[in-house]
Each structure stands twice: as structure tokens, then as C-alpha cells.
Amino acid sequence: METLNYRITAEDENKRADVFLSEKSGKTRSYIKNLCDEGFLKINGKISKSNKILKTGDNVGLNIPETKNLDIEPQNIPIKIIYQDDDVAIIDKPQGMTVHAGNGTDGATLVNALLYHLDNLSGINGVIRPGIVHRIDKNTSGLLVVAKNDKAHLSLAKQLEDKTCRRIYLALLEGEVKNDTGHIETKIGRNPKDRTKMAVVENGRTAITDYKVVKRFEGYTLCEFSLKTGRTHQIRVHAKYLGHPVVGDKEYGIKKQRFNLNGQLLHAARLEFVHPGTGKKVSFVSSLPEYFKEILGKLKEKKSDFLLHI
């Protein structure tokens, strides 16, 4: 693992950590920010955030993990491309497909498929995650946008950072949610008891999710979630925090599942952003997968003030 170490002088005081490290290392700010988000940045010996403002005398250390020599091969894996042009492609990802290699997954990912089906992908996230601006979990289905060039990637990443990109999810939750609408704001970070999972923790990063009830069933609630931030497993962690985990979620949900599912009933249903090329707002919608609809069809519906439009 390569480690970058710097001592801050008056010349670099008041700079953001990610800006400073990008200037010093020659690597893109988005790449540096990703490393910081994963906990590889330490300032004065303590794990710090990418937006930390530096002071004279600070000791800044950034660990750059070794990347396996992965030769990401194009693979003829069927994927649903609902829209594409010279700048972006909108993918409707199926449940069970991993977005990119990592954590023991080397092949048969969405990236392998993208390299086969698309001529161009942005290179900002390197060879392992070309074109990937944001991701959704392996067992979450639905929409994500792929950048075909670096200009588009930077535009989309900025919209995500500024919270102007709208991402709407549908999830079936265990139990009957009390309020018709709600706002959840917590800190999310690695679960200290299980580092493979996330949790609501005091020293985590701010995570904001709004929700509203779409349909009520006996013992279950179909909810719409709007992401205001993009933390790992955010909706799943917030659903658990709400006391109503996502149905089928074996990591954050209840142990005794009623239905025999291959993953959580969580679907990225709507995606809205300003097109990097045209400057116009665009919106895309994905219908619920059949297995999701089948479960809803087995439930007894209750009266609701909201209607399902997707």
C-alpha cells in the first residue's frame, strides 16, 4: 500500500483536504474523495473527511491501496439499456448483478457488460469502475446513470454532490409504518461489530433520506424513498433505523423471512438530472420487477391516501 504524507505549511492553509491531495498527487479530486470516503485519509493520526479544512502544521496521510492487476474483460452479458447518447447511458440493472469488481467479485459485473455493449466510458474512476458515477447494491434493482466521457462524469458527480440529482426508490418494508411521510437524518458509518455492514453511528457521515407511504398492506408498507445523500446501504440502514427493515434484506432485515427471495425488495424507480450535454433536465422511470409485483399481489391491501404511479 502506497502512503502519501505531507505537513501543511502556511501556503496550503485553509484548503480542503481532497483539493490539496489532488494538487500534490496529480490524481483526480474524485479519486481522492473516494479514498477519503473509504477511510484512507488521516489528519494528525485521525480518520478525516475529504472536506476537512487544513491548518498550518497538520500532518496529512493518505493510504492508496494496491489495486489488483485486474484485466476487466468485456463480456456479452445481456443488460437493459433504456437510453443512451454520446454522453450518458441509463441502465436498468437486474437484481443479483454486481456493479463493479471488488470484495471478491472479479467478473460478470455490470462493468464487464458495459465494456462489451458501449463504445466509450469515462475513465475518471479507473480501470475497475469505468463510467460508474454512482452504484446500487447487488441485490437492489433499477436505474443508474453511466458516464461515457469525463466531462459528463464530472457534471453528474457534481450534481450528486450538490444533491440536485433526484433518485427515487421503492421498497416494501416489514410492518406498518406509522407516519405517511417522514425525514430521516443520521450519521452512517461502518458497523463497529461487523465491518462488512453499515450502521447508524456517532462518528459516521451525514445521511439524509425522505420517505412517504405509497400503499399500506396488512403487516407491510410500500414506501417511496428519496435520497438526499448517497451513503453505502443508506436506505436499508435507514429502514432498519425506522424499525421497518426492507423485506428480503438478509443483512439488515429480520431473520425469519416470510418470502423466499433472492434479495431485498428495493428498486431504483426514478432518476432525474440535468443532462451534461444539453443542459436540460431529464427523467427516467423503471417499473417494478415481476418478482416484486408478485409479492405485492400476495398481500392484503389497506386504505391509503397515496397511489402507486410506477
Q: Please identify every residue annotated as catalytic.
A: 137
> Distance between CA atoms of 108 and 295, rounded to whole angstroms?
28
Q: Rounded CA gap, 204 and 202, in Å?
A: 6
Give 239's contacts (C-beta < 8 A, 6+ positions apart): 171, 173, 245, 246, 249, 252
> At CA 111, angle to CA 70 and CA 240, rounded to 5?
105
Candidates 89, 114, 90, 112; CA nearest to 101 is 112
φ, ψ for residue 55, nearest 5 deg: -125, 155
269, three cell numbers: 424507480
Provide the grid cell at 138: 447487488
List the Cα angle 113/92/254 in 5-degree steps: 105
Rg (C-alpha) for the chain, rounded Å, is 20
Exposure pattern of 3-22 as b/e (b: 16+ CB <10 Å)? Answer: ebebebeeebeebbbbbbbb
Four-residue CA torsion sign, 117, 119, 122, 125: positive
Residues in Cβ contact with 261 at an 8 Å cutoff, skipping those fewer than 6 apart: 247, 248, 291, 295
3-state secondary structure 289-309: CHHHHHHHHCCCEECCCCCCC
